[in-house]
Amino acid sequence: MNHRFYNKNKKEQNRILIVIAICSLTIIILSIIISIYSGIYLIGILIFGITLSIIAPFFDMPSLKKSGRMIYYSPLFITEKPKDGLIKIHGGTLFDYYFVIEKKMNGKQRTDFIIQQYLEGLLNLIEKYERDKNMKISGTSYIINKRTAEKIGFEIINTDILQRLILTYNYFNILISNSIAKNKLTFPNLNKTETFESNIRQLLERKEYIEKLNKSLKSTIANTVYN
């Protein structure tokens, strides 16, 4: 898996996490000091919450991957461990975007790359569970649009209130992720977030189309980025 963080040895990984922790702690301490001297305690509370939401994936993802609770099927396509016949899928987090997306890519190339990684991960997931055709798949994304989702075999369902609350709390995390994806400051419209649902049987029926789309995007990326 071409993921710059996981390709490093344990010592290098720990060094990165220590630097992130120290920088975050410094920001939080400074915000507390400013809050105390200004008497505006909301500043400290907001910066504390925002900082935690931004750095959380840098600590959570390596830990969850190690424990097996999160499984990478491509560097930007992750699933939770199957439970009660359901697999919850996730796009890459801010942590993954930072360590996977190449800085030389422009906005269009980055978006194509993210979608290609989704498709590649989905194909790997289909291959693993192709014998369990009733296994359900569910996920939420603001990258893949409704039209693309339906073409690869997903149905659109209502995003539940809890999921919307989680997205709202992580707004600044998503803001940075979205800006990395577009290669410019881009404010996410959470109203465009869609929740998709399918099962392995439906995805198998669209496997050929998914493979063609994945191959096409791979070719486009190779020709525009690496040539």
Is the domain of 125 the same as that of 50?
Answer: no
Judge whether residue 144 has pLDDT over 80.
no
| Total domains, the chain | 2
Is the domain of 101 the same as that of 128?
Answer: yes
How much of the chain is helix, strand and coil, in % rounded to 5? 60, 15, 25
Average pLDDT, the chain: 92
- Residue pair 40/113 in contact (Cβ under 8 Å)? The answer is no
Is the domain of 81 the same as that of 62?
Answer: no
Is the domain of 2 the same as that of 48?
Answer: yes
Judge whether residue 210 has pLDDT over 70.
yes
Is the model's pTM score more than 0.85? Answer: yes
Is the domain of 135 the same as that of 204?
Answer: yes
Tell me the pLDDT tens digit for each residue of 29-46.
Answer: 999 999 999 988 898 999
Element (H, E) at 49: helix 41-67
Is the domain of 116 the same as that of 220?
Answer: yes
Is the domain of 160 the same as that of 97?
Answer: yes
Judge whether residue 224 has pLDDT over 90.
no
Q: What is the pLDDT of residue 223?
A: 85
By residue range, what is the domain housing residue 205? 69-225
Tell me the pLDDT tens digit for each residue of 159-174.
Answer: 778 888 888 889 999 9
Is the domain of 26 the same as that of 80?
Answer: no
Which of 119-133, 135-149, 163-177 ranks highest by mean pLDDT? 119-133
Is the domain of 45 the same as that of 95?
Answer: no
Q: What is the pLDDT of residue 80?
A: 95
Angle at the Cα of 90 from the Cα atoms of 59 and 199, rounded to 5 degrees? 145
